[in-house]
Structure 1
Amino acid sequence: PDTAPNVFHFVLKMTIPDREPIKLCGGSSPGLMETNSSTVRLEYHTDDKGQSRGWSLDYRTQRVQCPVPGRVANGRFTPVLTEYFYRDYLHVRCDQGYKLMMDGEEIKSFFTMCESSGRWHLPLPECHIIDCGEPEPLRNGAVTVLSGFQNQYRSVVQYHCNEPFYSPLGGVNVTFRCDADRQWRSTHDVISSPTCLPVCGQPTKLISGYHRIIGGSSAPDKTIPWQVMLSVGSSRGGGMVIADRWILTAAHVLVPNGETVLPENVRIYMGHTDVKTLIATPVNASSLYVHPDYKNPDWLNYNNDIALMKLDQPITFDSSVMPLCLPADGATYDTGVMGLVSGFGVTMDTGRDRRIQTNRLKYVQLPVVDQETCSSSLSSFRRTRSNVPNLTENMFCAGVPEGSKDSCQGDSGSAFTLRENGRFYAAGIVSWGVDCGKPGTYGVYTRVSNYMSWINNTIQNN
């Protein structure tokens, strides 16, 4: 102030953003002034009159606070403080098994900042439980929910196979849990994915009595579910189901005239014991695999008489169609052991001019014959005949010396089965013989156990 009353020669101008400037002068303090701003501009104006003692200023600052956030259900925010101020950050994470969601959309990460207005620049997100989606469907099986809801985190499901036609790999029904990485994880230490394996050689019905194919009785439905009837040109043959896309048969059925027939010229029938019903639903082959060492141009060499057919579509097994087991390593062919032969071939042989084919599936029980006995029988026929094939170690014989029980034309390629531990397996394939069911004759069968490597390699490589 100047010495002259009411005349001021200096002034302090204070400018606060977004407000009109304030001019301060006089000898007394204007009192507490709240700026609510982080910046204030001070301008001191004076002239050359009077004496100024200057000015003094006491101030203190207070940071803008944002409210303490509420709880995040199934999640947490960091850092956890008692107060949050301007430019403080919050990060939100969900608990294991939950995902960040905002406005109905999933987000990978989240943070929000305290603004100068005292509000968080984004509202807190929500944590929703994750789900693993629908479990993978199981071919020839199904899945059951054991616990949890809508495939959510920690839900547990169990896979089971369509028994009794399929059984689970490892012999146990596998359970899977929905993990935090949104994957269904096996709770089994060994099995990582569920698989249903076909049950082989266990028909749902067993034959109570055995008869002969030559003039024998019809097989009840579902008792020989692996039986296949083949139509190759005008000829009829047999085969057996061994896998969902594979049929085992005799090579000579597919090589009738020295050359392998085309797959489209083979008709495959299965699932019924009546021929008229059977032929209504043929199945097609996509490829044929005759053993490479089968060479039989003059019908005197049936060595390696074995072939495989691959179907163009897999079979779903049930009580009418079921695979036959293959021999185990070291399978034996003990003399006298009884086997089961079946087929749609000749049931009555009254000579070359009259052979009657069956319209029903037939079966017979036959004992395995000692190899030397069978060889001697064939040798006796060679004394009067020149067209008797040779017996090799890849073959075995079955039948009874008095005759009347045998396989015959049309049965070729069908199975000679043995039963072990409640399961039927393919011990032999109907191959050849001298006459059908005559005394002193035996049927000759391909010894399947000698060809397991070839069978397995063919299936694996194709």
Structure 2
Amino acid sequence: MRWMYFLIFIIALKAHAIVIRHDVADKNYLFAAQTDSSTVTFYGIYKGEKIVEGTGTLIADDWIVTAAHVANYLSPGGKVEFKNTSYKIEKVVCHPRWQDKKYPFDIALIKLFTPIKSATIAKLYFADDEAGQTATFLGRGDTGNGIQGITGADGHMRLAENKIIAAEEQWIKFEFDQGEDALPLEGISGPGDSGGPAFVSAQNNLYIVGVSSWQDTEPTKWQEARYGVVENYTRISYFKNWIIETMSGEAFDKDLPSSER
């Protein structure tokens, strides 16, 4: 397994804002994101300016799931932002087997001092049937399109969709398609969306199936955010026991889709 992890490290770029189709209006992705009430944003300062450093998802009114490589830069007393309101972090828990700058076990939980009562809580997806489903994901980092790659950042939230092509051990995977194979709002993550969610809907509920981790650019000859790249999201179902144990039985919605009942 060591050689595989080394290969992942070499070919991966951090998945960070939403990169869209070149032939679909950006306003469609912006409009679709207006319904979101489950994600938070982590900000940092670069050269005196506020920048997006990552995204997280509320899985309880005071618990957030994100990527470990995002949480690595967070600390108790720091803040996250939900709909223009800041909330203070109580504790940061990265997976104990995660290592800095490496992608296996790229998951973390953030506990808040104050619950966010106005949020829509995402349910945890524990089934193993993710492959073939269409997922949606959100972020407000850098944006661009499949032909030009990254073109800039405006801080606006976008929502894209993609089909899960594989669900293997720790990862769920997406490919950035174009043409007839692309979904109406086909897209992938871009710089600033790390830790953001991949959602699916089941029984009229919103489930989180994955957390944005890294992007394999080998299929595009090392060009980030282009058609053909493969996104890798940390798989929630793989880490279900660690999530439950870390939250120590605190109240959160553990309802399962029908395939897990």
Give the TM-score normalised by the residue count of structure 1: 0.42
Amino acid at match of 2:41: M
Deviation at 1:458, TM superposition (A): 0.9
Q: Give the distance between the partners of 2:231 and 2:225, measured in 1 at CA.
A: 8
2:38 is equivalent to residue 262 of structure 1: no
Report the CA distance shift for 1:428/1:221 in structure 2 as closer, same or farther (over 3 A).
Answer: closer
Cα shift readout 1:60-109 (whole Å, capped 9, x = no counterpart): xxxxxxxxxxxxxxxxxxxxxxxxxxxxxxxxxxxxxxxxxxxxxxxxxx
Report the CA distance shift for 1:227/1:409 in structure 2 as closer, same or farther (over 3 A).
Answer: same
Amino acid at match of 2:69: H
SS in structure 1 opposite 2:124?
coil
2:178 is equivalent to residue 395 of structure 1: no
Contact 2:56 2:64 in 1 (8 A): yes
Q: In the alignment, which residue of structure 2 is the partner of 1:241? A: 58
Contact 2:175 2:228 in 1 (8 A): no
Q: Give the distance between the partners of 2:235 and 2:80, measured in 1 at CA.
A: 23
Deviation at 1:220, TM superposition (A): 5.1
Contact 1:219 1:361 in 2 (8 A): no
Q: In the alignment, which residue of structure 1 is the partner of 2:208? A: 426
Q: In the alignment, which residue of structure 1 is the partner of 2:235? A: 447
Q: Give the distance between the partners of 1:250 and 1:267, measured in 2 at CA.
A: 16
SS in structure 2 opposite 1:218?
helix
Contact 1:232 1:253 in 2 (8 A): no
Cα shift readout 1:295-323 (whole Å, capped 9, x = no counterpart): 13xx3x31111001100112213xxx211
> After the TM superposition, which residues 207-286 of structure 1 pair with which residues of structure 2 at under 5 Å, given as runs?
213-215=18-20, 216=26, 217-219=29-31, 223-234=35-46, 236-256=53-73, 261-264=74-77, 266-271=78-83, 278=84, 281-286=85-90
Cα shift readout 1:39-61 (whole Å, capped 9, x = no counterpart): xxxxxxxxxxxxxxxxxxxxxxx
- In the alignment, structure 2 segments of 5+ residues that lack a partner are 1-16, 21-25, 47-51, 218-222, 251-261
Q: Give the distance between the partners of 1:444 and 1:417, measured in 2 at CA.
A: 14
Q: Give the distance between the partners of 1:368 and 1:424, measured in 2 at CA.
A: 16
- In the alignment, structure 1 segments of 5+ residues that lack a partner are 1-211, 272-277, 372-391
Report the CA distance shift for 1:295/1:316 in structure 2 as closer, same or farther (over 3 A).
Answer: same
The one of 322, 327, 332 aligned to 2:125: 327
Amino acid at match of 1:218: L
Greater relative CO, 1 or 2 (CA 8 Å, sep 6+): 2
Q: When you count helix as a share of all residues, which structure comes out higher?
A: 2
Q: In the alignment, which residue of structure 1 is the partner of 2:258? A: none
Cα shift readout 1:323-358 (whole Å, capped 9, x = no counterpart): 111113x34212x3210011111112756xx75123
Deviation at 1:418, TM superposition (A): 0.9
Contact 1:251 1:290 in 2 (8 A): yes
2:153 is equivalent to residue 357 of structure 1: yes
2:190 is equivalent to residue 408 of structure 1: yes
**Cα RMSD after superposing both structures:** 2.4
Q: In the alignment, which residue of structure 1 is the partner of 2:225? A: 437
The one of 303, 306, 309 aligned to 2:110: 309
Cα shift readout 1:10-57 (whole Å, capped 9, x = no counterpart): xxxxxxxxxxxxxxxxxxxxxxxxxxxxxxxxxxxxxxxxxxxxxxxx
Amino acid at match of 1:313: T
Q: Give the distance between the partners of 1:338 and 1:398, measured in 2 at CA.
A: 10
> After the TM superposition, which residues 62-141 of structure 1 pair with which residues of structure 2 at under 5 Å, given as runs?
none
Contact 1:343 1:411 in 2 (8 A): yes
Cα shift readout 1:214-260 (whole Å, capped 9, x = no counterpart): 2442145751110111124545100001101101100000225xxxx
Contact 2:134 2:162 in 1 (8 A): yes
Q: In the alignment, which residue of structure 1 is the partner of 2:99? A: 295
Contact 1:213 1:405 in 2 (8 A): yes
* Aligned residues with identical type, % of pairs: 25
Amino acid at match of 1:421: Q
The one of 111, 130, 140 aligned to 1:344: 140
Q: Give the distance between the partners of 1:418 and 1:454, measured in 2 at CA.
A: 21
SS in structure 1 opposite 2:92?
strand
SS in structure 1 opposite 2:54?
strand
Q: When you count strand as a share of all residues, which structure comes out higher?
A: 2
Contact 2:138 2:160 in 1 (8 A): yes
Deviation at 1:422, TM superposition (A): 0.9
Larger radius of gyration: 1
Give the TM-score normalised by the residue count of structure 2: 0.72
Contact 2:32 2:159 in 1 (8 A): no
**Bigger Cα displacement from structure 2, 436-445 vs 281-290:** 436-445
Amino acid at match of 1:270: F
Q: In the alignment, which residue of structure 1 is the partner of 2:13? A: none
Amino acid at match of 1:311: L
Q: Give the distance between the partners of 2:137 and 2:33, measured in 1 at CA.
A: 15
Q: Give the distance between the partners of 2:154 and 2:106, measured in 1 at CA.
A: 24
Deviation at 1:439, TM superposition (A): 2.3
Q: Give the distance between the partners of 1:405 and 1:455, measured in 2 at CA.
A: 28
Deviation at 1:454, TM superposition (A): 0.9
Contact 2:33 2:157 in 1 (8 A): no
Q: Give the distance between the partners of 2:90 and 2:31, measured in 1 at CA.
A: 29
Cα shift readout 1:180-217 (whole Å, capped 9, x = no counterpart): xxxxxxxxxxxxxxxxxxxxxxxxxxxxxxxx932442
Q: Give the distance between the partners of 2:121 and 2:107, measured in 1 at CA.
A: 17
